Amino acid sequence: MARDVRLLSEPFIPGQFVGPFTNAHPGLGGVCTFVGEVRGDEAVEMLELSHYAPLTLPGMEALADEAIARFELMGMLMVHRTGQMRVGEPIVLVSACARHRRGAIDAVDFAMDHLKSEAWFWKREKRADGWHWIEPRAEDHADLARWK
């Protein structure tokens, strides 16, 4: 189970994935996990992520492969939600296990920066006056530049 990449359309509990992922890699030296959730914002009633099946999952798989090679990982777990989400629901889970901690930590940072600004997702949020598409942020592109 070196690479486990999933798109989910329903809410998930990160621990249900991280436990088996960790157990599948005996002998690891470190495992690093990041979970991104829908941030609390009184004005936002709901968040929706859309994707494009022919690109989104293959793109995530290629990203995970790149991280595994670059940071010499034993494995990478990447789970991303699509559809409608409320405050507090997990959107994304990235976990990396490696012989040494540095690779695991950096790999998760690398994967998140790329998911934020290069993965094929489109986000919109529902406010009192309706739905609003979210434009990419300059900070996300600056984060990505760290890895060039």
Residues that bind other proteins (CB under 8 A): 36, 49-50, 52, 54-55, 58, 80, 91-92, 112, 115-124, 133-137
Which 3-state string (H, E, C) describes the chain? Answer: CCEEEEEECCCCCHHHHHHHHHHCCCCCCEEEEEEEECCCCCCCCEEEEEECHHHHHHHHHHHHHHHHHHCCEEEEEEEEECEEECCCCEEEEEEEEECCHHHHHHHHHHHHHHHHHHCCEEEEEEECCEEEECCCCHHHHHHHHCCC
We find the least distance from the C-beta atom of residue 139 to other proteins, in angstroms, to be 12
We find the least distance from the C-beta atom of residue 74 to other proteins, in angstroms, to be 24
Choice between 45 and 52, CB closer to other proteins? 52
Choice between 122 and 147, CB closer to other proteins? 122
Choice between 28 and 115, CB closer to other proteins? 115
Choice between 12 and 99, CB closer to other proteins? 12
We find the least distance from the C-beta atom of residue 56 to other proteins, in angstroms, to be 9
CA-nearest of 112, 82, 83 to 95 is 112
- Report the residue count for the chain: 148
We find the least distance from the C-beta atom of residue 118 to other proteins, in angstroms, to be 7
We find the least distance from the C-beta atom of residue 19 to other proteins, in angstroms, to be 23
Choice between 20 and 58, CB closer to other proteins? 58
